[in-house]
Structure 1
Amino acid sequence: MKLVQVSDIHFGGENRKAVEAATQRIHEEAPDLVVVAGDLTLDGKTSEFNAAAAWIDSLPRPTLVVPGNHDTPFVGPSELWVRFTRPWRRFKDRFGPEDGVDWRGPGLTVTSLNTARAAQLRWNWSKGAVSRSQIRRVVDVLKAAPSNDLKVVVCHHPLMEVLGGPMTARVRGGVDAANRLVEAGADIVLSGHIHLPFVTAIPFGDGKAQLVGSGTLSLRERGAAPGFNVIDADSGCVRVTALAYERGRFEVWRTWAFDRR
């Protein structure tokens, strides 16, 4: 099976040439599922959401989309009012529920977890959070999945800090969530947020569950060219290929491989 993982396109600040080239490359990859791991927009504006929806509609189906911290309005008094009263309305109108979306295909179970918050009891609202009720729901989905399925969770913020990453996620409840998801059988947790592709083992259970992050398709680069991930899985192994947009085309930037549980 094959997944494409994109995140942090930030329409309103997107790298237009990279986005255009990504559209063609994703069609060439012919994935079983396209996962969009948050931060579709730059400022949560209606025009940015419209651009994001048009682009995602141009990609191969099916798609699974989760929001990120940039996908709530926050520029100007009227936008802040929307943020506090209907933070996910623009997202939901175009992509469906912001949390708890499940997708199943042959040998594959995917579920989503919204780690973004419109407001928090801390200064930096861009950081992530996971509630106990969210953890319980995802655990139930994973435990109900067929035992041989590849079990994937999609969120925006990495649940645990990435060593050497260019920024932090500081997800409240993230370490507990990672531990519980591994106990429930998660194989991969896909995320974005830090604008740099990575693969790192979750240090719980048998150590075979992995955090997998994708880069950005925006102008907000943090140490890597614009890019996205292609994930290939068979019965014994998962391979992650980070593609980078350089010299007018997507080329392999780095690859990882790890054994399935």
Structure 2
Amino acid sequence: MTRTFRIIQVSDLHFGGENPAAVEAALAWFHQEKPDLLVVAGDLTRDGAKTEFAAARAWLDRAPGPLFATPGNHDTPYAGPGELVERLITPWRRYEARFGIADGAVWQTPGLSVFGVNTARRAQLRWNWSKGAISVRQIRHLEGRLATAAGDVRIVVCHHPLMELTGEPMSSEVHGGRRAARHLTAAGADLVLSGHIHTPFAAPYPFGDGRTLAVVSGTLSLRERGVPPSFNLIEIDPSEIRVTALAFGKADFTVWRSWAFDRRPAA
């Protein structure tokens, strides 16, 4: 890899409960910076309503450059008991009608490969269905995908942070998440991008060479958790990965926090 990639990472847009000023200001910022890729790490909607998906799609259609999205736990029908049957039988139909396949999406350009995995579930054998899960089958599929992209910057996108890390504000208690983080590190993933906790965060997984980074973006909704609406700018060059969380003030975005990590040496 000889070039620098610039990726914008957003998540938890929660259209139906978005912050109107923040989403418009973010769009202007995106056009100014012209990223190589815009990644949306789930929860595009608040209640999985058709009108919310339409609003999310319309907003993202106004954004520059390629788009890569994966769903979150709010992207199934969520508004009430009348939609429970659809949630259980065809949970991702509304998402897929607007954004393509819910599990296993791929986006590639020379030097950069991005792979999606759906960690949200229609239902689970635990009370809180919003928590995440990743299966052995999904992990093996990702390992195969990563193996085909040796030499590229390799990115995995999911909604839930796979495991709790030191300094992370909360855990999404992903079933199979620790195993997934360990296997993705061994498979050479450079970044695992997620959302869900509404607070920007970046740290390496404590496995293998310690060069696989978990990067979480904040929310552009009104559902704030101690941090203003925010998104991440990720810059990747041959030797370093830089993550900058930009938070919304009264009219614009400014730097809230930044991280820098050495990249895994080329094989």
Kindly indicate whether residue 179 of structure 2 is the aligned counterpart of residue 176 of structure 1. yes
AA aligned to 2:153 is L
CA drift of 1:164 comes to 4.2
CA distance in 1, matches of 2:169, 2:225: 6
Q: Secondary structure at the match of 2:129?
A: coil
Q: Secondary structure at the match of 1:235?
A: coil
Kindly indicate whether residue 18 of structure 2 is the aligned counterpart of residue 14 of structure 1. yes
CA distance in 1, matches of 2:241, 2:168: 22
1:53-68 paired onto structure 2 within 5 Å: 53-68=57-72
1:90-105 paired onto structure 2 within 5 Å: 90-105=94-109
CA drift of 1:60 comes to 1.3
CA drift of 1:258 comes to 0.4
CA drift of 1:76 comes to 2.1
Of 202, 207, 213, the residue aligned with 1:204 is: 207
CA RMSD after TM alignment: 0.9
Of 83, 90, 102, the residue aligned with 1:86 is: 90
Kindly indicate whether residue 238 of structure 2 is the aligned counterpart of residue 238 of structure 1. no
Of 37, 40, 55, the residue aligned with 2:41 is: 37
CA drift of 1:163 comes to 3.4
TM-score, with structure 1 as normaliser: 0.97
Kindly indicate whether residue 125 of structure 2 is the aligned counterpart of residue 121 of structure 1. yes
The answer on whether the counterparts of 1:128 and 1:171 sit within 8 Å (CA) in structure 2 is yes
AA aligned to 1:26 is F
CA distance in 1, matches of 2:22, 2:79: 26
The answer on whether the counterparts of 2:158 and 2:193 sit within 8 Å (CA) in structure 1 is yes
Match of 1:257 in 2: 260
Kindly indicate whether residue 108 of structure 2 is the aligned counterpart of residue 108 of structure 1. no
Q: Secondary structure at the match of 2:163?
A: coil
CA drift of 1:135 comes to 0.5
Of 194, 201, 204, the residue aligned with 1:191 is: 194
Q: Secondary structure at the match of 1:124?
A: coil
CA drift of 1:78 comes to 2.3
CA distance in 2, matches of 1:236, 1:167: 30
AA aligned to 2:124 is Q
5+ residue gaps, structure 1: none
The answer on whether the counterparts of 1:189 and 1:212 sit within 8 Å (CA) in structure 2 is yes
The answer on whether the counterparts of 1:188 and 1:211 sit within 8 Å (CA) in structure 2 is yes
Match of 1:167 in 2: 170
- Alpha-carbon displacement from aligned partner over 1:173-208 (angstroms, at most 9, x marks no partner): 000001111111101100000000000110001111
AA aligned to 1:124 is N
User: Where has structure 1 moved over 6 Å in runs of 4 or more?
Assistant: none
Aligned-pair identity in percent equals 59
The answer on whether the counterparts of 1:165 and 1:194 sit within 8 Å (CA) in structure 2 is no
AA aligned to 1:251 is T
TM-score, with structure 2 as normaliser: 0.95
Q: Secondary structure at the match of 2:15?
A: coil
Match of 2:27 in 1: 23
AA aligned to 1:47 is T
How many residues matched?
260
CA distance in 1, matches of 2:12, 2:252: 19
